[in-house]
Amino acid sequence: MDRRKLEEKFFMGLMIASTFIVVGSLFAVFAVVIWKGAPALNLSMITQTPKGGYYLGKEGGILNAIIGSLYLAGEATALAFLLSLPIALYLNEYAGKSRLASFIRLSLDVSAGVPSVVYGAVGFTFMLYLRMRVSLFWGIITVTLLILPIMARAMDEVVAMVPFKLREASYAVGATRLETVLKVISRQALPGILTAVLLAFGRGIGDAASVLFTVGYTDRIPASLFDPAATLPLAVFFQLGTAIPEVQQRAYASAAILLILTLSFSVASRLLTRKFSKFVVR
């Protein structure tokens, strides 16, 4: 029987080692990027746009990219939200277990797995077809399509968890389906809905391949929807590609900013879920 115990101990060792490697890689990424980016992190990075000669190592910051990303991700998230909520509610309240619902869910899950570069290529195609130029507008359209499946499915799962008793209670007092949906179910699912929104926002702000073709890049803060805009991921990418060490340093700092931003959203969404759950019925 010693052989059995030995085998178990051996695999336990392997399992714990694997877990260490997996969790360790998270820390490795975080630590290295922050450590390398910290030296170049100063206030001017986040408060100034690139001045002339920025890419040669002179002054400025990446405010253009920060604002550009916030506009882009913000508006794309809002647009995706306007679509996702009705979709999630429809799938659960009206379509139920029908074939249509299963098909749509499968389609959304599959869409969520499509590479962002494909979304970018398609957005680019339509942009050319309409003879338009790279702009914030096309970035928003592309990113909305990118994050829509993720947000819709996340909301779908949250709404599905609303207990049947709540629906029953609402119908029992004579509410219509729409009223039940708007007043009872949305409120119950609110924390989960918020999490889905934050999740999608984090995805939208961090994606590079979808905005590469459609938004362009510029040193200025976009003044209108049809201006090109800078985005944080591309700021990192382009700065890293230069040969000048100071600029490369700034690339790491930009990466650190982006990392901190997206991780904060992840953590915030988790904490908010717990906080808002106070009003939720168990």
Partner 1 sequence: MVMRKWRSSLSNLYHSRKLSDLIARKVMLVATIFSGLIVFGMAFALFYKAWPILSTHPMEKLLLSSSWRPTRGEFGLYPFIMGTLWVTILAMTLAAPLCLLTSVYLAEYAPRRIRGIIKPLIDLLAGIPSVVYGAWGVLLVVPLLRDYVAPLVGATTTGYSVMAGSIVLAIMVFPIIISVSEEVIKAVPQEIREASFALGATKWQTVKHVVLRSSFPGIIAGIILGFSRAFGETIAVLMVVGNVSKAPSSLFDPAYPLTALIANNYGEMLSVPLYDSALMLAALILLLVVLFFNVIARIVLSKIKRRFAIG
Please pick, from the candidates 18, 42, 44, 98, the single residue that binds partner 1 as defined by CB under 8 A: 18
Q: Is 121 in the site for partner 1 (CB under 8 A)?
A: yes
Number of residues that bind partner 1 (CB under 8 A): 89
Q: Is 191 in the site for partner 1 (CB under 8 A)?
A: no
Please pick, from the candidates 106, 132, 244, 281, the single residue that binds partner 1 as defined by CB under 8 A: 106
Residue 40 has φ and ψ, to the nearest 5°, of -90, 0
Q: Is 21 in the site for partner 1 (CB under 8 A)?
A: yes
Report the nearest approach of partner 1 to the CB of residue 67 (Å).
Answer: 17
Please pick, from the candidates 61, 62, 68, 207, the single residue that binds partner 1 as defined by CB under 8 A: 207
Q: How far apart are CA 17 and CA 3, in angstroms?
A: 21
145-174: contacts with partner 1 (CB under 8 A): 145, 148-149, 152, 171, 174
Q: Is 72 in the site for partner 1 (CB under 8 A)?
A: no
Closer residue to partner 1, CB minimum distance, 50 or 250: 250
| Per-residue interface string for the shown chain with partner 1, residues 215-234, x marking contact by CB under 8 A | ------------------xx
27-56: contacts with partner 1 (CB under 8 A): 28-29, 32-33, 36
Report the nearest approach of partner 1 to the CB of residue 174 (Å).
Answer: 7
Report the nearest approach of partner 1 to the CB of residue 131 (Å).
Answer: 12
Closer residue to partner 1, CB minimum distance, 16 or 161: 16
Q: Is 246 in the site for partner 1 (CB under 8 A)?
A: no
Using the contact rule CB under 8 A, the part of the chain among 60-68, 122-130, 186-194, 217-225 near partner 1 is 122-130
Please pick, from the candidates 46, 57, 74, 124, the single residue that binds partner 1 as defined by CB under 8 A: 124
Encoded amino acid at 99, one letter: R
Please pick, from the candidates 38, 56, 78, 118, the single residue that binds partner 1 as defined by CB under 8 A: 118
Report DSSP letters for the chain, one per residue.
-HHHHHHHHHHHHHHHHHHHHHHHHHHHHHHHHHHHHGGG--HHHHH----TTGGGT-S--SHHHHHHHHHHHHHHHHHHHHHHHHHHHIIIIIITTSHHHHHHHHHHHHHHHS-HHHHHHHHHHHHHHTT--S-HHHHHHHHHHHHHHHHHHHHHHHHHTS-HHHHHHHHHTT--HHHIIIIIIHHHHHHHHHHHHHHHHHHHHH--HHHHTTT---SSPP-STTS----HHHHHHHHHTSS-HHHHHHHHHHHHHHHHHHHHHHHHHHHHHHHHGGGS--
